[in-house]
Amino acid sequence: MARTDIFADDFSTTPWWWHGFRPPAEAPDALPRRVGTLVVGAGYAGTACALRLAEAGDDVLVLDAGALGHGASSRSGGQVSGGINVGKSPSGRPVDPGRKAALLRDAAEGFTLFESLLERHQIRCGYHRSGRLNAFWTPVHAAGWRGRLDELNRHAASDVRLIGRDEARAELGSDFYHGAAAIGRAGHVQPAEFYGGLMGAARRAGARMHGMTPVRRVGRVPGGYAAVTDRGEVFADRIVFATNAYVAAERRGLAPDLRRGIVPVTTHMIATEEMPADLARTVLPTNRGVSESRRVINHYRLSPDGRRLLFGGRASFFPLDERRTAALLHRAMVARFPQLAGTRITNSWGGRVAITLDRLPHIGGGEGRFFALGCQGSGVTMMTYLGHALAGKILAGGTGPVNSYDTGLPPHHPLYDGTPWFMPALGSWYQFQDRRDREVPR
């Protein structure tokens, strides 16, 4: 039976971040008839791509089906790092070491780009470079991380070290974990405010950006592409798909080849009410962000002013409303921080992330049609970087890989057409394995 006393009087199902930046929903009066590049999807990837293209003098139009940035980019946990989540190969198959090194170097480059964008465009978004913890669900997970330290420090300059249970307790204000990996080159940001800053920079560079304008169909025409929208047709020399997990749900939708390459997964977050100062000091006293080493992770961090806890994870693999997902996340939060049992929730929301079958993000394309997708649930820096890199590819004429993620479409599977019918069963299996690992550490 879900508890009802955990909800604050002003409980809302919009992301708490939208207090700082609300995705603008203004629709255009009219669309241009012809542009250089049409970007479909106005999250970090589409907006970073538009920014770089516009700065290089391209005539760029960005269209989003909803308000600008209303997808994952203004809903996330806002934790940032460069490479920590890269290269976890599915079913434990090792990734070739040379390729892994390149993937890590490029992901680290994404973190550098993120910080340089904040600096260059003077984006104020509550950024704290306070580091991050990957907290161990079982003692065995420390061994797995020990094997990753060298490559992360060598190729991604992650500044990561293992810490034992006592130090982890002091960092976290919780006795829940079996130690942690402490990552120095990491932090957290107010994700919607970061989006707002990026959007402002793209607009100032000359990109036109409009929300509430879904692109329904795209077809090849002589000299480019024709895009059908609810507000008329637009002709573009080039088209960029930056729709990530929000790619059309229909089988014959906008980009079936992209849809078949990603598994969209809904993930959830809650924000607590303001904690009294003495209570707030007991939770994450070093202000690091946290994610866990298990399969179905929880992740959390403090708000930029340190007074709220923002707590996320895949609350359920079955469709549930925001009050029920909030109740599940509240229970998980209290398991880690029993002192928060009486702390209520002001906001609960969900968003979609895109998983690929090889667990890697991808960019690619050619002949005027390009894409960036597959954030793996970790895309504040990565999708910004890939949008930026994709613009570089376009400016270089669209040929030749620009980085190690420029490998074309993600792999497809003959039994998968873009409808994640298996997720409830697979997710439940992962949750079962996590519980079993914790009870009987192996």
Binding site for ligand FAD (CB under 6 A): 40-46, 63-66, 70-73, 75-79, 214-215, 242-248, 254, 267, 269, 299, 312, 351-353, 375, 377-380, 383
Q: Which residue is nearest to ligand FAD (CB)?
A: 379
Measured from the CB of residue 372, what is the shortest distance to ligand FAD in angstroms? Answer: 6
Classify residue 372 by its DSSP letter.
E
Q: What are phi and psi of 75, to 5 degrees?
A: -125, -5
**Sign, Cα dihedral of 381, 382, 385, 387:** negative
81 closest CA partner among 134, 146, 42, 40: 134
| Minimum CB distance to ligand FAD smaller for 279 or for 409 | 409
Angle subtended by helix axes 191-204 and 97-120, to nearest 10 = 70
Please report how close the Cβ of residue 8 comes to ligand FAD at its closest, in angstroms.
Answer: 20
- Going by C-beta distance under 8 Å and a sequence separation of 6 or more, which residues neighbour residue 392? 52, 402
The position carrying tokens 């906008």 is 254
Measured torsion, CA atoms of residues 119, 363, 238, 352, in degrees rounded to the nearest 10:
-80
Report the nearest approach of ligand FAD to the CB of residue 234 (Å): 12
* 165 vs 235 by CB, closer to ligand FAD: 235
Q: How far apart are CA 124 and CA 44, in angstroms?
A: 16
Q: CA separation (Å) from 440 to 92, 139, 369? A: 21, 11, 50
Own/partner pairs, 432-435, CB within 8 angstroms, 24+ separation: 433/295, 434/137, 434/294, 434/295, 434/296
Neighbouring-strand partners of residue 234:
227
Closer residue to ligand FAD (CB): 44 or 370: 44
Considering only CA atoms, which of 37, 32, 35 is closest in space to residue 47? 37
Min dist CB 143 to ligand FAD, Å, is 25
Strands (E), 90-231: 132-135, 160-163, 180-183, 186-188, 208-210, 215-221, 224-229
Q: Shortest distance, CB of residue 356 to ligand FAD, whole angstroms?
A: 12
Please, which residue, 83 or 312, has the CB nearer to ligand FAD?
Answer: 312
Which stretch of DSSP H or E encloses residue 222?
A: none
Identity of the residue, 377 or 427, whose beta carbon is nearer to ligand FAD in the bound complex: 377
Neighbours of 62 (CB within 10 A): 31
CB of 1 to ligand FAD, least distance (A): 26
DSSP string, 292-313: ESSSS-EEEEE-TTSSSEEEEE
Q: Pick the closer one to ligand FAD by CB: 75 or 178.
A: 75
CB of 262 to ligand FAD, least distance (A): 10
Q: Which of 279/357 has CB closer to ligand FAD?
A: 357
Closer by beta carbon to ligand FAD, 165 or else 323: 323
Q: How far is the CB of 423 from ligand FAD (least distance, A)?
A: 15
Reduce the secondary structure of 3-33 to three states and give it as a string. CCCCEEEEEECCCHHHHCCCCCCCCCCCCCC
Q: Which residue has the tokens 């913890």?
A: 133
Q: What are 432's two structure tokens?
A: 């079962």
In the complex, minimum distance from the CB of residue 401 to ligand FAD, in angstroms, rounded to a whole number: 19
Q: Which is nearer to ligand FAD, 44 or 405 (CB)?
A: 44
Q: Name the residue nearer to ligand FAD (CB basis): 37 or 244.
A: 244
Q: How far is the CB of 55 from ligand FAD (least distance, A)?
A: 18
C-alpha span between 53 and 39 (Å, rounded): 11
* Of residues 224 and 374, the one with the C-beta less far from ligand FAD: 374
**Least distance (Å) between residue 363 CB and ligand FAD:** 11
